[in-house]
Amino acid sequence: MSFSTVRQLQTKLYQQARSAAQELTAGDDSAIISYSRKFEQSLPRRFKKINREDFFAGIVDADIILYGDFHTLKQSQKGFVRLLEELKLFNPSRPRLIAMEAFQAAQQEGLELLQQQKITEQDFLRRIDYEKTWGFPWVNYQRIVNHALAEKIPIFGINGISKGNDKDKLARRDRFCAKKLTQLTRQFPQHQILCITGEYHLADQQLPAALSHSLQKTNIKNKKIVRIVANIDQYYFSLNFPSEFTINHYLYLKKDLYCLMDTPPWVKWHSYTFWEEQRSDSTQLDSRARLHNEIMIDLDYHVLSLVSDLVKFFKFPSNPVILTLFNLITDTPEKIIRQAQQQKLVSPHDLKTVAVRLALDEFFYVAKSKTILLTRVSLNNLAEAAGQFLYDTVARADFKQNAVNCFYQRVIRFALGMLCSKIINPKRKLTNYYRYVDIAQGKERVARDQRAVAREIVRFHHWMLHRVEHCDGHIVRHLRRTVTMDEHVAFEISKALGKIIGVKIYRQTIKHCTPADEIRALFQPSPRRPWQIVADMYRVFLG
């Protein structure tokens, strides 16, 4: 099982996600389709990969930075916040302000009240009718607003929603945005303006042209305008990125035009598909329950599709009927737990654990009933749940075991769920094992119970490595304290250990260091006890 095998699956995922997104956008008006084509046509075919220092050297002295936003992808908004943080490192003395397409210029009074802490966030969202005037996931843009509030960076709305469906409406919005940016340039001549707007607006002849014209018209000269686009499909595959895609990559496209690569393209398009499928036909959602009922079948399809792709990837014998035998519930945590109780999908003993994991991870897979619980729909969550379900289905997991064996079985399940999630999304970042070491040693300030958990993770990890190295993986007496604590902390220890192993297996897989049969064997039925399988995982992948 090699790098090329993983890349083949990821290419297929991209093709599926892009095709699904195109089907959903088929009904968009001609103006949006035309804008998207102009954007793609304006991108240079040639590019140069540059390092982080050269990237920031090219943008740090810009007066206006136009950042291309992919509205449904939270990584896009996170990338904008990281850009703000790093610009501060490169030039801490220069003041900055943020201009956001997500807010209309007419909503500036509400923005001012929020920034002055005279109204709450919820009051602000109601005041501007966020769902109706913008509607893309607030949790994504909340990150930008919270960073600006913490750093005391002024925020300005620059959107002027054009009425009607004529072909010129997007051009009018560009001209309006250009006018607002020009006003901000005049009002704050020393500030660096960072404008986050839809990526299609950044085509050569769209917002950049309108902004240059507006600045010239008002006799504002010698202002450096830089554009940053992100996660362009063609560049990702042209660069042949490694499957362990965990760092940002910077591309120079042409003068004052750069590309930031921080997300695989299929993850980007999946985010759009999920968002579209969660939209109601009406202009405003009245009930989360109604929303989730409407998308249930689509999410079932997404999980089944991921499971089917993984079955083909690992070359398991396919049984289409068995692969559909899972339950899926998505809603608020309270409604999920209530529904799971009513359908007897979660035992009373596990309710507290489920509630904690939903709060921390936004999803949980209930192994005994093969039920996926989701409070946040994302490709990472669906892929990890699909991997755990695939393990239970293929390995025919035994749930009538003692506490020790259940602990080891959880470690296996979390490890294989993470392996599948990393295959689906190589960009996914995780807490490094050495961070647990730092927490255990008191190098990071955390709550006392978190430090105790980190110490137990480190203790088990070293204990198992010792068993593998000196005892050939044989275990006479188990760390029962670890098992007991794991149940008390809602499986945090087994989850962390599983994810450490899962990432290690993934890295061995793409380096072609491990035969495919050894990885497939982890999923398949075995007469070995769960602790023996975990010991083998350590011997093969962590030894």
pLDDT digit string, tens, across residues 201-230 = 999 999 999 999 999 999 999 999 999 999
Q: Which residues pair with 165 in a beta bridge?
A: none
Residue 283 has pLDDT above 50, yes or no: no
pLDDT of residue 162: 58
404 in Cβ contact with 480 (< 8 Å): yes
147: how many CB neighbours lie within 10 A of its CB? 18
102 in Cβ contact with 155 (< 8 Å): no
Backbone φ and ψ for 416, nearest 5 degrees, come out as -75, -30
What is the residue whose two structure tokens read 């000269």?
A: 221
- Lowest mean pLDDT segment, chosen from 177-186, 205-214, 427-436: 427-436
- C-alpha–C-alpha distance, residues 139 and 116, integer Å: 21
Backbone φ and ψ for 82, nearest 5 degrees, come out as -60, -35
DSSP codes joined into one string, 100-169: EEEEEGGGHHHHHHHHTTSS-HHHHHHHHTHHHHT-S-HHHHHHHHHHHHHHT--EEEEE-PPPS--TTH
Count of residues for the chain? 543
pLDDT of residue 508: 82
Q: Cα dihedral sign for 447, 458, 365, 263?
A: positive
Average pLDDT, the chain: 88
Residues of the chain with CATH 3.40.50.11550: 32-262
Q: For residue 261, give the H/E element and its range.
A: strand 257-261
Alpha helices by DSSP H, listed for 223-372, are 233-239, 265-278, 288-314, 333-342, 351-361
CATH of 32-262, one of 3.40.50.11550, 3.40.50.150, 3.40.190.10, 3.30.360.10: 3.40.50.11550
Of the ranges 163-172, 424-433, 436-445, the best mean pLDDT one = 436-445
Q: What angle do CA 230, 232, 234 make, to 5 degrees?
A: 160
29 in Cβ contact with 230 (< 8 Å): no
What Rg, from alpha-carbon coordinates, does the chain have?
Answer: 25
Q: Is 330 left (phi over 0), alpha (psi -120 to 50) or beta?
A: beta
- Lowest mean pLDDT segment, chosen from 204-208, 229-233, 508-512: 508-512
Which has more pLDDT, 248 or 462? Answer: 462
411 in Cβ contact with 534 (< 8 Å): yes
